[in-house]
């Protein structure tokens, strides 16, 4: 079996599994005041310290959550409600057109149910947001903007955004800037303080950590309205009993991902380049999507003209190769990737793509297996589509 879907989720690292297992054997609620509770709290706070050190923030700025989706929802909904409560004129939520659905859907929901106005920033054919476009969008009516959210790096095509420049534009107008950095941790040099962003989302399972662990890093003075209400944990920003095992596992995963980043990205970049070269040799008209200069090292997003991505996925799966398409599926009907459409691709091209994402356990043997399988798979997919269209 060949796994080329590391952008979807990754194998839990042995060091992380060991830490989680060790903590699972410890009794105590981190909110309790007795000795057992204090021991659990100590483990949580040590984890918070390690996360903060790895991503360039203070421990006080780390709010532990259940993962990337929760963190995005807390940032977008919570900051909107807080800003709108202070000034009802602030109704605009500005996001890029290529955000993950964990950011797009909360913004859309706020527009449908909370009176917000959701605006999409355009991207160029490489998937990049131009800081001038953000300046123009905010500048039309600065006093009406509640927040801006632009991801650090795209989960489909891998394009890395000019986050520091975008955050600087938002800061000029006093607008909070949130970034989903789920794909960037361990692949890009992520420094919260240096970037100038106000809120940053990260998760564990993209970097060898446990599913169900994540964090929202919030700059001092930025306090969203809670999405979850209850016991007042995490400075009353995110209620719910804290999981010491998940916090410890997340911290270990983040620490290792950041510590090993330079060596890891060199390995992945070389492997990705070899993958693309070998696929191009087998399928000469393949199209590589994303920014060739500022792209995540482990993502190869490829369009195969005359094919359907879903058909290719299943043909490769039959050969024991796991990957993903950039499209979504609704009621059994494939929908074109909103990312590729925003980049200017037509519907056929947006439906003809595969995302092949490499990770820590990927090898040259994996690339060789794909190279052997991709040519025949494309031939079969093209023949099937041509027959259906006749």
Residues 109 and 21: their CA atoms lie apart, in Å, by: 38
Query: Within the chain, where are the H helices?
Result: 14-24, 35-55, 68-86, 101-113, 131-139, 163-172, 192-195, 244-259, 261-282, 309-318, 338-342, 347-350, 364-389
Residue 64 neighbours by CB distance under 10 Å:
25
Residues 45 and 33: their CA atoms lie apart, in Å, by: 15
DSSP β-ladder status, 321-322 and 214-218: unpaired
Query: Within 114-228, where are the H helices?
Result: 131-139, 163-172, 192-195
Residues 341 and 350: their CA atoms lie apart, in Å, by: 6
Catalytic residue among 57, 307, 323, 329: 329
Cα distances (Å, whole numbers) of residue 169 to 20, 59, 119, 162: 41, 26, 16, 11
Whether 329 is catalytic is yes
Residue 284: strand, helix, or coil:
coil
Based on the number of CB atoms within 10 Å of its own CB, is 229 exposed (0-12), middle (13-18) or buried (19 or more)? exposed
List residues with catalytic annotation. 329
């Amino acid at each position: 079996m060949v796994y080329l879907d590391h952008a979807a989720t990754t194998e839990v690292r042995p060091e992380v599994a060991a830490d989680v297992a060790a903590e699972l054997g410890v009794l105590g609620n981190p909110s309790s005041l007795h000795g057992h509770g204090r021991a659990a709290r100590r483990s949580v706070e040590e984890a918070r310290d390690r996360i903060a050190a790895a991503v360039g923030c203070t421990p006080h700025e780390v709010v532990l959550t259940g993962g990337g989706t929760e963190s995005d929802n807390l940032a977008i909904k919570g900051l909107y409600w807080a800003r709108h409560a202070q000034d009802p004129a602030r109704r605009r939520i500005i996001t890029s057109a290529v955000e993950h659905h964990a950011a797009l859907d909360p913004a859309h929901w706020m527009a449908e149910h909370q009176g917000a106005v959701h605006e999409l920033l355009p991207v160029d054919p490489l998937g990049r947001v131009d800081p001038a476009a953000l300046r123009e969008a905010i500048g039309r009516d600065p006093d009406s903007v509640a927040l801006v959210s632009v991801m650090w790096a795209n989960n489909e095509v891998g394009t890395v955004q000019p986050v520091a420049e975008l955050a600087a534009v938002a800061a000029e107008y006093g607008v909070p800037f949130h970034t989903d950095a789920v794909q960037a941790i361990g692949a890009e040099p992520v420094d919260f303080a240096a970037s100038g962003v106000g809120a940053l989302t990260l998760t564990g399972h993209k970097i060898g950590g446990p599913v169900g662990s994540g964090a929202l890093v919030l700059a001092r003075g930025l306090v969203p309205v809670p999405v979850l209400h209850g016991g007042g944990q995490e400075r009353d920003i995110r209620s719910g009993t804290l999981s010491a095992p998940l916090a410890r596992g997340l911290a270990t995963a983040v620490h290792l991902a950041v510590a090993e980043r330079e060596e890891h990205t060199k390995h992945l970049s070389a492997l990705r380049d070899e993958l693309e070269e070998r696929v191009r040799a087998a399928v000469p008209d393949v199209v590589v999507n994303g920014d060739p200069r500022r792209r995540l090292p482990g993502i190869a997003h490829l369009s195969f003209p005359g094919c359907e991505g879903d058909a290719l996925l299943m043909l490769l799966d039959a050969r024991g190769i796991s990957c993903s398409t950039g499209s979504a599926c609704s009621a059994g009907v494939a929908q074109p990737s909103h990312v590729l459409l925003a980049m200017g691709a037509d519907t056929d091209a947006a439906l003809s793509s595969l995302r092949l994402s490499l990770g820590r356990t990927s090898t040259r043997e994996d690339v060789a297996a794909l190279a052997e399988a991709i040519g025949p798979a494309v031939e079969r997919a093209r023949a099937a589509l041509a027959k259906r269209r006749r």
